Amino acid sequence: MEDQKVLPDESSVSLVREVRAEEDEEDFRSCCEDDEVWKETEEVVKEEEREELDEFSVNMFFKGISLADTGDSGSGFSGIGVVMERSADSPVIQVQKKLDFYVEESVADYLAIMDGLTEAVQNKIHRVYAFTDSASLYDQITSEEKLDNPLLMALRERILEHTRSLEEFVLKLVPSTNLLRPLQLAQVAIGVISCSVKGDKSLENCSICCEDKLSLMMITMKCSHKFCSHCMRTYVDGKVQSSQVPIRCPQLRCKYYISTAECRSFLPLASYESLERAQAEANVLHSDGIYCPYPNCSVLLDPRECLSTRASSSSQSDNSCVECPVCRRFICVECGVPWHLSMSCEEYQNLPLEERDAADITLHRLAQNKRWRRCQQCRRMIELTQGCYHMTC
């Protein structure tokens, strides 16, 4: 099933959207164990997606990646990779570049397709069938709506200018597994993986699985230890699932902690987002974080952040009372329960566990006002109407 869209003012320039297979996205890079998998991937592309090509037509696979420096989201490394296939008797065209400055990955994707189109025009290509795994890039290029980001807006206009010089331009949204070759070019450009000569079959040993893998399949950490991409993905996923973050390098006795930016270079999107969530939760928990006690909320809170905003947003004056920023209800951070307005934290903590819900607290407060007493045996409230304070159950 395919959806097609036509670029503005160009009936001959269409864009095709293919259904993105979620399982392919989840398995991204696990397929990258050896070159046999690459060959299988290429077979699928040739059989299912490849248009009839001639010397003036290309299938263009492009990818941009960015790796931010630890603790600084505004600096790092960015690179692009483009692979253009022509007819069987024509050589493959490749574009590989390390950008002079760091950009967001969404911008890197734009620069990759723009450089690819520039190269295609210079090689007198008339028809380009482009492939991307970025749903946002696809939507932004096919949409006539104005973009909020002025940089992306300008890049989109530049890309559309290139497409208008072509007889035909088709953009397809495909699984990330179809973009392993341009991804490798971009990774080599910024130094995430080492460069290998075309056809190089040299092997390196992965200390996790203890197997020899192609050098181009190895990931080099900033601590200089190398592991195959499949093992690193499995290792990081396991640490995330067991909430063991930050994640230390798997090399024995290595004390280096792998940054989330490094993980981004080899993790599929879903795994990377899970890592970010686990890291955020760990940061809050390490700062004495608590979960909202209300069952229909349960968001993870940073009490210090809530207390810092309480003065202007809450009428409560107790230092242990905060307002959940999500459900807007009051919480006692000292006791980790819904706010007990009618009693102090000490009084609340002296209550038996079975008498700490909201109804019991209200009853307890009412008993204090009415001077009721609780039977120590049956726990029922008794009101003294006459006689002494002696009670018999």
pLDDT digits (tens, 9 = 90+) for 60-94: 999 999 877 655 556 678 899 999 998 877 888 89
What is the CATH number that goes with domain 2-189? 3.30.420.10
Res. 38 pLDDT band, cuts 50 70 90: very low
pLDDT value, residue 23: 42
The CA angle 340-370-385, to the nearest 5 degrees, is: 155
What distance in Å separates the CA atoms of residue 375 and residue 161, rounded to the nearest whole number?
A: 85
What distance in Å separates the CA atoms of residue 337 and residue 318, rounded to the nearest whole number?
A: 14
Contact in structure between 366 and 374 (CB atoms under 8 Å): no
Res. 58 pLDDT band, cuts 50 70 90: very high
Q: Does 42 score more than 70 pLDDT? A: no
More confidently predicted of 307 and 328: 328
Contact in structure between 82 and 61 (CB atoms under 8 Å): yes
What percent of the chain stands above pLDDT 90? 16
pLDDT value, residue 15: 42
- Tokens representing residue 3 in the block: 């959806």
Q: Does 315 score more than 50 pLDDT? A: no
User: What mean pLDDT comes out for the span 340-345?
Assistant: 74
Q: Does 24 score more than 70 pLDDT? A: no
What distance in Å separates the CA atoms of residue 262 and residue 269, rounded to the nearest whole number?
A: 13
What distance in Å separates the CA atoms of residue 31 and residue 72, rounded to the nearest whole number?
A: 31
- Tokens representing residue 203 in the block: 């092997």
Q: What kind of fold does domain 193-285 have according to CATH?
A: Herpes Virus-1 (3.30.40)
Q: What's the Cα-to-Cα distance from 59 to each of 4, 176, 182, 335, 381, rounded to whole Å?
A: 17, 16, 12, 62, 81
Q: Does 262 score more than 70 pLDDT? A: yes
What distance in Å separates the CA atoms of residue 8 and residue 143, rounded to the nearest whole number?
A: 9
Residue ranges, CATH 3.30.40.10, the chain: 193-285
pLDDT value, residue 168: 92
Longest dimension (CA), the chain: 109
pLDDT value, residue 250: 92
b/e per residue 223-246 (b: at least 16 CB within 10 A): eebbbbbbbbbebbbebbeeeebe
CB atoms within 10 A of CB 23: 7
Residue ranges, CATH 3.30.420.10, the chain: 2-189
171 three-class SS: strand
pLDDT value, residue 80: 93
User: What mean pLDDT comes out for the span 176-182?
Assistant: 88
What distance in Å separates the CA atoms of residue 162 and residue 13, rounded to the nearest whole number?
A: 11
More confidently predicted of 338 and 118: 118
Res. 6 pLDDT band, cuts 50 70 90: very low
- Find all residues with CB under 8 Å of 199, minimum gap 6, and list them: none
What distance in Å separates the CA atoms of residue 287 and residue 58, rounded to the nearest whole number?
A: 54
pLDDT value, residue 108: 92
From the number of C-beta atoms within 10 Å of its C-beta (0-12, 13-18, 19+), residue 13 rates as: buried
> Residue 246: phi, psi to the nearest 5?
-65, 165
User: Which strands make up the sheet holding 330-332, listed edge to edge?
Assistant: 321-323, 330-332, 337-338
Looking at residue 343, the DSSP 8-state letter turns out to be S
User: What mean pLDDT comes out for the span 224-238?
Assistant: 88
pLDDT value, residue 252: 87
Pick the most confident of 89-93, 205-209, 316-320.
205-209
pLDDT value, residue 60: 95
What distance in Å separates the CA atoms of residue 140 and residue 180, rounded to the nearest whole number?
A: 23
74 three-class SS: strand
Res. 330 pLDDT band, cuts 50 70 90: confident
* 164-177: pLDDT as tens digits: 999 999 999 999 88
What distance in Å separates the CA atoms of residue 57 and residue 87, rounded to the nearest whole number?
A: 8
